[in-house]
Chains A and B, each alone.
Chain A
Amino acid sequence: MTPSAVVRRWQIALIGLGVVGLLIALGQLIELVAPTRWVAIAAWLLGALVIHDGVLAIVVLGASVLVRRVKAPIPFAVIVIVQGAVVVTAIVTMLVLPAIVKQAVGSANPSVLPLDYVANLAIFTVGVAVVTALVVGGYLTVRMLRQKSPRTT
């Protein structure tokens, strides 16, 4: 059998398996979830696409276009490192934010959401800033040393 024929067989098997999965999902949906709830689930699915593709991705695109226009003489790698730090902080914040909101609304009992998430997020953000500064500092130092002692080979 040629490699492409092997790939073709795997493709058919995987797609077949996937269709079985979707049929199980449909069967379980009909069996377990009242049709009155289907609209709510569909709204969540659609909402997820709109929030991700329509809002988050566009904001990221806008930010990256703006960053590209930075004219200051900042080394490209430094921009990339700082960008990464901002993204990491944003993702962690996105995950912790609902915990902060739920805690403010009130949790079921004191052992649910017992930590000071606002303070911990602040500590985390400061930590990211410190680590970023160290990495940037390290990068600039290495770059400076390399520029001072060019390779002789």
Chain B
Amino acid sequence: MQRLLHQLRHTLIAPSRNPRAAVVLGRLLAIAFLLCFGTGLYSHFLQDPLPGMTFLTRPLWLYQVTQGIHITAGIACFPLIFGKLYAVFPELFQTPPVRSFAHLVERASIALFVAASLVQISIGLLNTYQFYSLFPFSFRHTHWVLSFVVVGSLAIHIGVKLPIISRYWTRKSAYESGELHATPNPDAILAVFDEHRRLTGQPMNAGVTGRIFEWIDREPAPVAPSPRVETSRRGFFATVAVAAAAVMTFTAGQSFRFFDGVNLFAPRKAGVGPQSLPVNRTAAAADVLTTAVSPDWRLTVTNGTTTKIYDYAQLLEMPQYDVVLPIACVEGWSQYAQWRGPRVKDLLNSVNAPDDATVRITSLQTNSMYGITTMQPEFVRDDLTLVALYLEGETLDLDHGYPARIIAPARPGVLQTKWLSELAVIS
């Protein structure tokens, strides 16, 4: 086994498998992970705020941009993590596999880090495809828990590797000092006796594995000072860069209109959907096909014992406002639209709600965790927060929340409640 590990490490030698490459890619990956973590926390707390939290309602595109970054940076993690794992792959075959308890803990934390990172970005991507059938668990809860595993084990990993990171942080310290090539790589010299040979005297090419590795080693990877080392290294970084640029460029169109023309692979396309706007949950999926079009539909607005009930015509008689706001989904896609309807604060004023009211919003849909949501005072009192009745000058499509839906600035799409039935002041 020791021989196998030794041989594998030798075979895995490649010019781009060095600490400098690991540090360069690790840095980029850490930035991408932290961007995803920060924007993810923001999205999470918008949906489940801790007591006392308040949120910005401007700029209007705030959530659109944070969540667009979350998804796009998450997609960029794929080539970055593949490149990083490629650079450190020989470490998998360390001999002896465990040197001490501390070494065991370090290797276990790296295994957890790698596994959690790969699962985190994979389920994130699959969630944007709404491929829920692959998850035998709640996506949202698992993604939330794993985010702390990833960031926690990232901090531990950086902590453990800090001496290496600081030594190879700059190009100068890594290459120009010559340290990278001056440091002898014991795996580069196959003639160094492994344990097996030392103990049994068996030649290195004995046995099936020995012969396979001998065959492989007839054409060894380039090692310094071969000029191929530099070519190979440049090729490696160029490949990771081009792959990252490609996956971002051809998917970012769902979040950033600038890239719409080259939207080849995103799960959403601007302008595609009822009334030219994408939909996440349809009326059929929400099971509101009859209740939403019923002539008995009413919007109930309550503040303690004060209640006002509006039918559709009464809502239309209220002062109507036009706003241009994006629907920005947690899945990363977003699109601006023009909405028209009465202001939420006007409706709440009709029941004498206080200025700092927090409101519980109830939808006709009963089969979703977003059927009942809470709106913080800063959004309730915003002039741009409407009970929208119109979209782009037309009556709302049933899939966009007919007869009435919430639209507010800088909030996730899941909180822009469709098929409204009640607004209730809760504090």
Contact = CB atoms under 8 A, between A and B. Distances in A.
A126 interface: no
Contacts of A28: 141, 144-145, 148
A60 B86 contact: yes
B130 A88 contact: no
A81 B14 CA distance: 16
A41 interface: yes
Given A45-B115, A87-B243, A98-B131, A92 B265 contact: yes
B78 A14 contact: no
Given A45-B115, A48-B119, A17 B155 contact: yes
A111 interface: yes
Contacts of A53: 92
- Indicate the size class of the contact surface on chain A: 35 or more
B272 A111 contact: yes
A110 B279 CA distance: 9
Contact of A113 (B86, B153, B243, B267): B267
B258 interface: no
A125 to B, nearest CB: 11
Contacts of A68: 219-221
B250 A83 contact: no
B159 A11 contact: yes
A21 B155 CA distance: 9
Interface string B229-247: 0011011101100110011
Interface string B251-276: 00000000000011111110011100
Interface residues of B, number: 85
Contacts of A108: 130, 280-282, 285
B146 interface: yes
Given A91-B243, A95-B75, A124-B250, A112 B264 contact: no
A142 interface: no
Contacts of A32: 138, 141, 144-145
Contacts of B235: 77, 80-81, 83-84
B145 A29 contact: yes
B372 interface: no
Given A80-B235, A109-B282, A114-B269, A41 B243 contact: no
A18 B394 CA distance: 52
Interface in A58-106: 60-61, 64-65, 68-69, 76-77, 80-81, 83-84, 87-88, 91-92, 94-96, 98-99, 101-102, 105
A33 B138 contact: yes
Given A80-B231, A108-B282, A92 B246 contact: yes
B149 A80 contact: no
A145 interface: no
A103 B176 CA distance: 51
Interface in B120-178: 122-123, 125-126, 129-131, 133, 136-138, 141-142, 144-146, 148-149, 151-160, 162-163, 166
A127 B123 CA distance: 29
B115 A124 contact: no
A18 B152 contact: yes
Contact of A40 (B125, B137, B231, B264): B137
B60 interface: no
Q: Which 4 A-B pairs have the closest CB atoms?
A: A21-B152, A14-B159, A18-B156, A18-B155
9 contacts: A7-B163, A33-B145, A57-B85, A84-B239, A95-B247, A98-B126, A108-B280, A111-B268, A115-B263
Given A33-B142, A111-B279, 20 more contacts: A18-B153, A18-B155, A21-B149, A24-B148, A24-B152, A25-B148, A44-B119, A45-B115, A48-B114, A52-B85, A84-B242, A91-B82, A95-B75, A101-B131, A107-B130, A109-B279, A109-B285, A111-B273, A112-B129, A117-B265
